Amino acid sequence: MHESESSEYHPDAAVESFETSAEPASTYGRRSMLRVLASAGVGTAVFQRALADEAAKSMAVTPEQIASAEWVAGITLSESDRQKLAAAMPGLRENLQKIHSVPLPVESLSCLRFDPEAVDPTARNQSMMPRPWLTSMLPAVPAENPASPEELAWLPLRTLGQLLRKRVISSVELTQSCLQRLRRDDPVLNCVVTMTEDLALRQARRADDELASGMDRGALHGIPWGAKDLLAVSGYATSWGIPQYRERIISQSATLVDRLDAAGAVLVAKLSTGALAMGDQWYMGRTRNPWNSDQGSSGSSAGSASAVAAGLVPFAIGTETLGSIVSPSKRCGVTGLRPTFGRVSRAGCMPLSWTMDKPGPLARTVDDCGWVLRAIHGADSLDPSSVDRWFDWPMQVDLAGIRIGRVTNGPTQKADQAALDHLSVLGAKIVDIELPRELHEYAVTTMLEVEAACVFQDFTRAGITEGLNVWPGIFQKARFVSAVDYLQASRVRLLLMQKMAEVFQKVDLYVGGDDLGIANLTGHPTLVFPAIMTEKAPQRRPECATLTAGLYDEATLLSVGQLIEQRADVVQYRPEIRPSQK
């Protein structure tokens, strides 16, 4: 999203593709055939030219080819229609070649902007002020705790901030402790891509000097954090999890990296992401779950979840398109917040889907996620989908003023049931609801595949597959989705948004419901957090509940989640990190 000469992928100049050529099809085909024949030494020059001319002519689309391709388009034509369409194909192909000939960096945006408010005219007005059931809450002052280095690793942000301001510890000491733990445990977890030690120590020294002089930037001042390696950080490589970009440096940092710097946070490491934001497998192997190192941490915010769960950083930033915050947070038993689409700027983050990408925090507690969101949310001129909507933290919720949904047409996991039980004890009104499952949400995520295939089309054209996990097959398949079908999917998506707006006329928040595909398509915010401990080998581990709220209502989401978290008291547990047996 930031313009950068170094951020554009340039395939090997020797790799040639019909689709990337600006030449007419016949000219390209003739020249290609001449090069092949000449290099192979086949026949005389006259013979080579004649054969190349015939090969070029054969590149014209025939009625028979159209007939065999009709299944892709989902139509059946008459023979007369096939003849007419064959005659029109050269003009279409020429236009497409002209489009392909325009050089575009990966970060170039689409002019099509997804608007989660499109179906609900009240959403914007509601989101410009606090909901009536929310009131501001003064941050509780934690007790002073001159913790040991081991204890420091598990303290919430408010407690760390108090220790910094009382000078019980310094930001430099806290930063060095994180750096040491990252080095110690990364050989098992494989969650670190790049240590940013020089930057971290500069930022930590600045934080100590500022706090000593009375300058206080807020809750994150002097607190170490980790960035998913989809976020550009000036001066450091940004690999996106693939070997092709292992040494690439993008000159301008992501907007949210700059915002965290302005908040006084200290970046200690860039953390692993699955290749091009898929899974937990990246070019240095698989990132591991601290609760069970034989298991991957899930993805694609794999390193962010693993590092937070292991106590290596107090918080990290991840991104989600279709589960990449929610899934690793659940796997690793940490708190993850996927904000409303557009709540947080994506400028400087790897684009995967222009209509679905969403950055957000992963941390040890719900409260911690609230403080991080407070620092990073808001509109950004570099991301036209980003918006300014009300958010503040900390807040408290009056449960008597809201309706909590229990999803009846989807599974209720044990952790979700535990959350509902806690809410019932606290006096919340529980309302049965159904989610709109009749609209085939995972079929609609074809839109994601098409957008991703467009972003990374140079890989497909050049035949590059190394280190891309299963993306090459997805990219290839997506090129057979017609523009008509993409737009048809967008119409179904709008209907899905309308159905979800109706759901939030009945409730203000709902628990569980297996809504990953639905809520990512509609742009609604989701919070996952540990709610129960479960007996699993090789050690007990947390399981997470899931809450989903109305658009831009993260404050309600976090306030309710915090009430459950306090009753569940699962955050006290810590993993014992053991080397993998596999």
Same domain for 291 and 347, yes or no, is yes
Q: What pLDDT score was predicted for residue 4?
A: 36
Domains: count for the chain: 2
In contact, 73 and 488? CB cutoff 8 Å: no
Answer whether 0.85 is exceeded by the pTM. yes
Is residue 54's pLDDT more than 50? no
Q: pLDDT class for 74, splitting at 50, 70, 90? A: confident
Long-range contacts of 531-538 (CB under 8 A, 24+ apart): 531/415, 531/416, 531/418, 531/419, 531/422, 531/564, 531/565, 531/568, 531/570, 532/414, 532/415, 532/418, 532/568, 532/570, 533/570, 533/573, 534/414, 536/291, 536/292, 537/292, 538/292, 538/294, 538/578
Q: Per-residue pLDDT tens for 210-236?
A: 999 999 999 999 999 999 999 999 999
Q: What pLDDT score was predicted for residue 10?
A: 30
Task: Please pick, among 228, 330, 358, 499, the residue that the annotation labels catalytic.
Answer: 228
Same domain for 318 and 423, yes or no, is yes
193-204: average pLDDT: 98
Q: What pLDDT score was predicted for residue 539?
A: 95
In contact, 154 and 574? CB cutoff 8 Å: yes
Q: What pLDDT score was predicted for residue 429?
A: 96
Same domain for 165 and 44, yes or no, is no
Task: Please pick, among 239, 253, 306, 324, the residue that the annotation labels catalytic.
Answer: 324
Same domain for 383 and 272, yes or no, is yes
Share of the chain above pLDDT 70, in %: 88
Which alpha helices (H) appear in 445-573, and where do they start and end?
446-455, 457-462, 471-478, 483-506, 516-522, 554-568
Last residue of a domain, which of 65, 100, 135? 100
Q: pLDDT class for 27, splitting at 50, 70, 90? A: very low
Is residue 29's pLDDT more than 50? no
Q: Residue 358's beta-bridge partner residues?
A: 320
* Residue 581: inside a domain: no
Q: Per-residue pLDDT tens for 535-574?
A: 999 999 999 999 999 999 999 999 999 999 999 999 999 9
21 catalytically annotated: no
| Host domain of residue 69 | 5-100
Mean pLDDT score of the chain, rounded to an integer?
90
163-173: average pLDDT: 95
300 catalytically annotated: yes
Q: What pLDDT score was predicted for residue 514?
A: 96
Is residue 271's pLDDT more than 60? yes
* Residue 321: inside a domain: yes
Same domain for 82 and 141, yes or no, is no
Q: What pLDDT score was predicted for residue 66?
A: 86
Is residue 257's pLDDT more than 70? yes
Q: pLDDT class for 16, splitting at 50, 70, 90? A: very low
Same domain for 383 and 249, yes or no, is yes
Give just the sign of the alpha carbon dihedral 54, 60, 62, 68. positive
Give the residue, 22 or 305, on which the prediction is more confident: 305
Q: pLDDT class for 49, splitting at 50, 70, 90? A: low
Is residue 31's pLDDT more than 80? no
Q: pLDDT class for 512, splitting at 50, 70, 90? A: very high
* Residue 406: inside a domain: yes
Is residue 13's pLDDT more than 80? no
* Residue 117: inside a domain: no
Q: What pLDDT score was predicted for residue 6?
A: 32
Farthest CA pair distance, the chain: 90
Same domain for 197 and 62, yes or no, is no
Same domain for 250 and 194, yes or no, is yes
- CATH number of domain containing 316: 3.90.1300.10
Q: What pLDDT score was predicted for residue 23?
A: 41
Is residue 525's pLDDT more than 90? yes
Tokens coding 430: 């529980």
Q: What pLDDT score was predicted for residue 531?
A: 98
* Residue 452: inside a domain: no
DSSP assignments along 340-364, one per residue: PTTSB--TTBPPS-TTT-EEEEEES
360-367: average pLDDT: 98
Q: What pLDDT score was predicted for residue 97?
A: 86
Same domain for 54 and 91, yes or no, is yes
Is residue 5's pLDDT more than 60? no
* Residue 116: inside a domain: no
Task: Please pick, among 32, 239, 300, 386, the residue that the annotation labels catalytic.
Answer: 300
Same domain for 271 and 194, yes or no, is yes
Q: Per-residue pLDDT tens for 90-110?
A: 888 888 888 888 888 888 989
In contact, 489 and 521? CB cutoff 8 Å: no
Same domain for 31 and 63, yes or no, is yes
Nearest to 569 by CA among 511, 530, 527, 541: 530
* Residue 575: inside a domain: no
Same domain for 339 and 285, yes or no, is yes
8-27: average pLDDT: 34
Q: What pLDDT score was predicted for residue 42?
A: 45
* Residue 577: inside a domain: no
490-501: average pLDDT: 96
Q: Per-residue pLDDT tens for 115-127?
A: 999 998 788 889 9
Last residue of a domain, which of 45, 66, 100? 100
Residue 535 phi/psi, 5-degree rounding, is -85, 110
580 catalytically annotated: no
Q: pLDDT class for 280, splitting at 50, 70, 90? A: very high
